[in-house]
Amino acid sequence: MYVCLNGKLVKEREARVSVFDHGFLYGDGVYETLRTYGGKVWQLREHLKRLRGSARLLQIGVPWSDGQVSNWLEALLEKNGFRESRIRISVSRGENGFDFTMSKKPTLVIVASKLVPEPVEVYTKGVSLISLPWQRFLPHAKTTSLLPMILAQPLLKQKKAYEGIFLDEKKNVLEGTMTNITAVFGNTLIAPKDGVLSGETQKTVLQIAKKCGLTVKWGKLSLKKLLQADEVFLTSTVREIMPVRMVDGKKIGRVCPGSLTKLLMSAFEEYVMRDWM
Ligand SMILES: Cc1ncc(COP(=O)(O)O)c(C=O)c1O
């Protein structure tokens, strides 16, 4: 497999980043995870925009144009030749000594590996979640400092849970460690708005939901309320829409996946097929 390092396609084993790179030393970087459908990159423009937004918040320069990044990505996809790919675009501050302001030479790495879908049962039976009494720092940015997610992993393993939910100090639901959360009450969908990464998948799914005649509300969602939801689902670029069966050991709704989650799963698939492939 090849990767793209600062605009050059390099064999993965030969790709090297300095031990003085801020990404390695400090987790001082930003990233995006993308995927292809039918070999075409899904929502590239939106992800590059969010990458730039994250970089701006950390004052990391992104000296490459969207056109350059997308040309390099296309070349990489062609070189690797996978049918569908999972893509990670990472930008670190590069080698910058003890300077944490705008760097002269940030590092760009694009990895496009074979997309391995999640096991089918997670979609047919749903997943279980546990709440976590902590949250991400600077939640609007997608940074490579992933400690809040990493610290959740032993707990997830211990409780046999698929995903953790970050909570704020007042026990409001924020987001999953790698996903956004939406709760369904009757025909209304509630999505936490503040203190979360603005998820591209969730935005798309909620637009589709509105077209299906459902009501969408962005706002506060307490953990207590989440446990009373008729349905809950997670969204992310790679996972798409994933039904939730249980939160903190309590069953959500009567059946999983619930009827509206199922409706949105098929409407999303149709949207991708019709408008994209
Ligand atoms: C913390 C967090 N929230 C939400 C998401 C989902 O975002 P998107 O739908 O844009 O992939 C991700 C994706 O990786 C994430 O890391």
- Give the per-residue pLDDT at 50: 98
Cβ of 237 closer than 6 Å to ligand 1, yes or no, is yes
- Give the per-residue pLDDT at 233: 98
Residues 196 and 245 placed together within one structural domain of the fold: yes
Cβ of 222 closer than 6 Å to ligand 1, yes or no, is no
Give the structural domain span for 60.
Answer: 2-114
Mean pLDDT by 10 residues, the chain (277 residues): 98 98 98 97 97 96 97 98 98 95 92 97 98 96 98 98 98 98 98 97 98 97 98 98 98 97 98 84
Residue whose CA lies nearest to ligand 1 atom number 3:
179
- Pocket-testing residue among 48, 144, 180, ligand 1, by greatest number of atoms within 8 A of Cβ: 180
Atom of ligand 1 nearest to the CA of 33: 14
Residues 97 and 181 placed together within one structural domain of the fold: no
- Pocket-testing residue among 136, 236, 239, 268, ligand 1, by greatest number of atoms within 8 A of Cβ: 236
- Give the per-residue pLDDT at 275: 76
Residue whose CA lies nearest to ligand 1 atom number 1:
178
- Give the per-residue pLDDT at 104: 79
Cβ of 54 closer than 6 Å to ligand 1, yes or no, is no
Q: Domain total for the chain?
A: 2
Residues 184 and 271 placed together within one structural domain of the fold: yes
Report the C-alpha gap between 100 and 31 in whole angstroms.
Answer: 17
Look up the CATH number of the domain holding residue 257: 3.20.10.10
- Give the per-residue pLDDT at 102: 85
Residues 48 and 129 placed together within one structural domain of the fold: no
Residues 262 and 148 placed together within one structural domain of the fold: yes
- Give the per-residue pLDDT at 103: 82
Given 70, 93, 114, the domain boundary residue is 114
pTM for this predicted structure:
0.96
